[in-house]
Amino acid sequence: MAADRTKAESELVAGARDLLAGKARAARVRLLNATKADPGWGLPHALQSRVYLDLGDGLIAETEARRAIELGVPANRVNHLIAHALLLQGSPKLALAEAEEARVAPRFSGYASRIRATALYRLNQFEPAAREFDRAIALAPNARGLWTDVGTFRFEVGNIAAATQAAQNAIRIDKRDVRANIL
The confidence score (pLDDT) of residue 132 equals: 97
| pLDDT band of 151, cuts 50, 70, 90 | very high
Could you give the C-alpha distances from 138 to 114, 134, 141, in angstroms and in order?
11, 6, 6
> How many C-beta atoms lie closer than 10 Å to residue 107's C-beta?
12
| pLDDT band of 1, cuts 50, 70, 90 | low
Could you give the C-alpha distances from 142 to 63, 166, 174, in angstroms and in order?
27, 11, 10
| CA–CA distance, 68 with 154 (Å, rounded to integer) | 35
Residue pLDDT, tens place only, 164-175:
999 999 999 988
The whole-model pTM stands at 0.93
| CA–CA distance, 104 with 127 (Å, rounded to integer) | 23
Residue type, 97: A
Q: Is 181 left (phi over 0), alpha (psi -120 to 50) or beta?
A: alpha
Percent of the chain past pLDDT 70, that is, above it, reads 99
| CA–CA distance, 5 with 180 (Å, rounded to integer) | 38
The confidence score (pLDDT) of residue 73 equals: 98
